[in-house]
Amino acid sequence: MVILSVVTRLFGVFPDRLQRYVWELAERNTLLLWMRVYFTKGTIFKKKGWFESSVSGGVPVDGSGNPTPWYTYSAIDFLDERISRDLRVFEYGGGYSTIWYAQRVEEVIAVEDSKEWTEIVTKRLPRNGEIVYRDSKKEYTGEILNREKFDIVVIDGSYRTDCVESSLKSLSDQGVIIWDDFDWLDEDDYQLLIEDGFSVLPFRGLKAGEASYKCTAIFYRENNCLGI
């Protein structure tokens, strides 16, 4: 704060040419710092693909450019170690996470309320993945009820609190619910889950391409499919 105050005062008496030089010097140093962070092996920015995600048109990818969920990195690491090929996943809100799950579980089905995005994701899904377009709230929240039970239900799209009741009806005995952007919620938003015996495990930290602190949460009961 002291340095900033001094610089601000000096700028009031510095010639324009000198001011431009100071700012250009600061910009170069900032760029060098970011380049050093990016090219240093083992940093979260390099390993997790944080920079790639920030320049990839708003889609989350890892350091090799592969699709990942737009969860916090800590949540992704946890899930990657614990999900297995015999699990079935349903997502409210599909995307790169749908592709990621399809590479790791028996089946993943997602519902999306954007027709354009549904078509884009469909082209990249393997045979065990499906994303369907539903434009009304009733069809969107109720799509899961037309399917068999799921081991993992992800709430990461539209009408989030309205998806809870249908999720509970369609969850297997060992099922868990993943709720992204948990930091947006009030306790009332997930009270139904607590009343049904769920505990919550939050994963806080960075997300792909974002600088702010975020949270992805997993709601679970005893004897769940993730071994929590």
User: What is the domain extent for residue 35?
Assistant: 2-39
Stretches in the chain below the pLDDT threshold 50 = 1-4, 6, 31-32
pLDDT the model gives residue 141: 97
* Same structural domain, 103 and 210: yes
* Same structural domain, 24 and 80: no
* Same structural domain, 137 and 188: yes
109-164: pLDDT as tens digits: 999 999 999 999 999 999 999 999 999 999 999 999 999 999 999 999 999 999 99
Q: What distance lies between CA 198 and its chain's CA centroid? A: 21
Q: What distance lies between CA 24 and its chain's CA centroid? A: 35
Predicted model pTM? 0.79
Domain CATH number, residue 78: 3.40.50.150
* Same structural domain, 101 and 204: yes
Q: Say how many domains are in the chain.
A: 2
* Same structural domain, 158 and 85: yes
Q: Could you tell me if residue 97 is inside a domain?
A: yes
* Same structural domain, 17 and 88: no
Please say whether the beta carbons of 140 and 134 come within 8 A.
yes
Q: Could you tell me if residue 49 is inside a domain?
A: no
